[in-house]
Chain A
Amino acid sequence: DTGVSQDPRHKITKRGQNVTFRCDPISEHNRLYWYRQTLGQGPEFLTYFQNEAQLEKSRLLSDRFSAERPKGSFSTLEIQRTEQGDSAMYLCASSLFQGGTGELFFGEGSRLTVL
C-alpha cells in the first residue's frame, strides 16, 4: 500500500500524559500536512511542511503541540500534557507540490481520546 500511513490508529490516554503520532507520507511527496477533525466537523489545518521545513503553524496549535519532519520524509506530531479538549482525529495528508498546486492525499487518521 503506497498511501499515507498513520500510527497509531487509536490512542487512549489520561489527561496530562504526552502522546506522539507518526505519519508516513506517499514517498515522492514533498509536502506534509497535519489537520485535526472533531466529531461532526470538517478538518482544521494545524501545520504543514515542505520537505523538512515547517512553513506554517495555525493558531490552533498551542505550545503543547509540536511537529517535526526531520529528514523530509515521515513526520511526528507530539502533544504534551494532554487535555480532554485534545480528543479528536488527527489527520495527516501529503502532496506533490509543483507549479503552485498539488492534490492532498489523506491518511486514515489517528484517533485520540483523552480521559
Chain B
Amino acid sequence: QQQVKQSPQSLIVQKGGIPIINCAYENTAFDYFPWYQQFPGKGPALLIAIRPDVSEKKEGRFTISFNKSAKQFSLHIMDSQPGDSATYFCAAGQGAQKLVFGQGTRLTINP
C-alpha cells in the first residue's frame, strides 16, 4: 500500500515537445504529491506539488494533473528544452512527511 508506481522508466522527446510522466499510488491517506527533478550527482529538487483538493496545478512550464478517483497523477512539461533533461521522481505522502518515491523517469530532450 506504500508503493508509488511511475512510468515510463525513460523518455526521449524533441525540443518543444510535451513529455508526460505518470504515477499511481495505492494509499488513500496520501494527501501531498510532489514532483522532484534530479541532475546527475545532485540531490532531488522540488519542482511542483499538488494536494488532492485540486485536479490541476501549473507553475511555469510544469503542470501536474491529478485524478483522485483513479489514484493517479502526472507531470507535463510544456515547451521542453534540452536543459530539462534529468531524472524526474514523483512522490506521495501525508502532509509532506516521509515521502514515498517512484522509481524515476530518465528524460532526454533532444535539440
Please indicate the chain B residues that have their CB under 8 angstroms from the CB of A109 in the complex.
Answer: 42-43
Does chain A have a CB within 8 A of B49?
A: yes
Whether A21 is near chain B, meaning CB under 8 Å from some CB there, is no
CB of A103 within 8 Å of the partner chain: yes
Q: Judge whether A101 and B95 touch: CB under 8 Å.
A: yes
In the complex formed, the residue of A with least CB distance to B94 is A100
The prevalent SS among residues of B at the interface is strand
B32 at the A/B interface (Cβ < 8 Å)?
yes
**Interface range, B side:** 20 to 34
The one of A95, A101, A104, A108 that contacts B42, using a Cβ cutoff of 8 Å? A108
Contact present for A106 and B44 (CB under 8 Å):
yes
- Indicate whether A62 reaches chain B with its CB closer than 8 angstroms: no
User: Contact at B104–A108, with CB atoms within 8 Å?
Assistant: no
- Tell whether, in the assembled complex, residue A41 and residue B103 are in contact, meaning their CB atoms are under 8 Å apart: yes
**Are A91 and B104 also in contact (CB < 8 A) when A43-B89, A48-B97 are?**
no
Q: B106's closest neighbor in chain A, by CB?
A: A40
Q: Which of B95, B96, B101 contacts A43 (CB 8 A)?
A: B101
A residues contacting the other copy or chain, number (CB 8 A): 25
Report A42 CB to chain B, min CB distance, Å: 3
Q: Quick one: which of A65-102 are within 8 Å of B by CB?
A: 91, 93, 95, 97, 100-102
Task: Report the separation of the CA atoms of residues A48 and B99 in the bound assembly, to the nearest whole angstrom.
Answer: 11
**Residue pair B45, A106 in contact (C-beta under 8 Å):** yes
The 8 closest A-B pairs by CB, nearest first: A42-B101, A106-B43, A100-B95, A101-B95, A108-B43, A101-B96, A106-B44, A42-B89
Q: List 30 contacting pairs A-B, 8 Å CB cutoff, sorted by A.
A: A4-B43, A41-B104, A42-B4, A42-B6, A42-B91, A42-B104, A43-B44, A43-B89, A43-B99, A43-B101, A45-B99, A48-B97, A91-B44, A97-B96, A100-B95, A101-B32, A101-B96, A102-B95, A103-B46, A103-B49, A103-B96, A104-B34, A104-B99, A105-B46, A106-B36, A106-B44, A106-B45, A108-B41, A109-B42, A109-B43
